[in-house]
Amino acid sequence: MKQRRVFPYGIDGPPQLAALLAGAGLTALVAVAALLVEAPSAALLGSTVVTAVLAGCAAGYAHTTLRGKFVVWRELAEGLALRGDEYVLDLGCGSGAVVLLVGRRLTTGRAVGVDLWRLRDQWRSDPGALRENALAEGLRERVELLTADMTALPFADARFDIVVTSMAVHNLRPRGRRRAALAEAVRVLRPGGRLVMVDIWVRGRTATLAELGMRSVERRNLGPRMWWCGPFVRTALVTAVKP
C-alpha cells in the first residue's frame, strides 16, 4: 500500500507559525499562573486575551497555508482561462502548489518553477519534494524546475505568456530586491503577457509595476481565506498586463 504523504506542499513560513504557537502557549501559562496566585484581575484578563488572539492567529495561519491558499489559487487558475499551449513561470515555486496547479491546465505548454529552496520560507521547499509531487500528479512532463534567483532570471526576454508568484516576493531583502524581481518578471513576459502576484505587504508594488511600463495594474484584498494573522496580516492579489 502506498504511504500517504503528509502535508505534501509544506507549510509557509514555519518559524512564524511556531512563534505564534509558542506565544499562545507561553501566555496561557501566564494566565494559569495568574489564576493560581490570585493575581489582579487585570493581569489574568490581559494574559487571557493575548492567548486568545495568538491562538486565533495561529489557527488562521494554519488554515491559510493548508487550505485557504489552495482555494484561492484554484479560482485564480480558472480565471486565467488557459488555452493549454502557454509557457508559465512561477517565481518562488517552493514545493509546487501553484506551478502544478497551473501545469494541470496545460497540454503542449510548459510550467517552469524557479526557487532558491529555503526551508525558512516554506517547509518542504525542496526540488526533490516538488518532483515527488509532480510525479504523484502525473505532471513530470509538463513542469520544469530551476534553481535561480528571481532578481536575476536566466531566461531570454519575452519568453513567458504568464508569470505567477505566491507568497515569495515579500521574502526578498533588502526592499530594492523586490523591485528587481518585479523588473525581471516584466522583462521575461511577452507583449500581452500577464502577471499574477499573491503576496503580503504589497504597498507600492502597483506603482512600481506602472513605472516598469505595465498596464491594467490592479490590486485587491483576498479576504479571510488568506489572512496569516487575522486581519493584521492580509494577502493581496496584484495583476498587470505587459503592453
Delimit the domains of the chain by residue range: 11-65, 82-241
Instruction: Read off the DSSP letter of residue 65.
Output: I
What does the pLDDT look like over 46-57, one tens digit per residue?
A: 888 899 999 999
Query: Residue 7, class by beta-carbon neighbours within 10 Å (0-12 exposed, 13-18 middle, 19+ buried)?
Result: exposed
pLDDT at 34: 76
Q: What is the pTM of this model?
A: 0.89
What does the pLDDT look like over 113-160, one tens digit per residue?
A: 999 877 676 766 777 788 888 888 888 888 999 999 999 999 999 999
pLDDT at 3: 45
What does the pLDDT look like over 77-101, one tens digit per residue?
A: 999 999 999 999 999 998 888 999 9
pLDDT exceeds cutoff 60 at 6: no
pLDDT exceeds cutoff 60 at 5: no
* Residue 211, CA distances (Å) to 168, 177, 179 in order: 21, 16, 10
Task: Give the 3-state DSSP-derived string for 68-102, with helices as H, strands as E and coil as C.
Answer: HHHHHHHHHHHHCCCCCCCEEEEECCCCCHHHHHH
pLDDT at 212: 98
CA angle in degrees (0–180, nearest 5) for 53-227-225: 120
> pLDDT band at 167, cuts 50/70/90?
very high
Task: Specify the CATH number for 82-241; select among 3.90.1580.10, 3.40.710.10, 1.10.645.10, 3.40.50.150.
Answer: 3.40.50.150
**Nearest-angstrom CA–CA distance, 92 and 171:** 10
pLDDT at 197: 98
What does the pLDDT look like over 203-238, one tens digit per residue?
A: 999 999 999 999 999 999 999 999 998 888 999 999
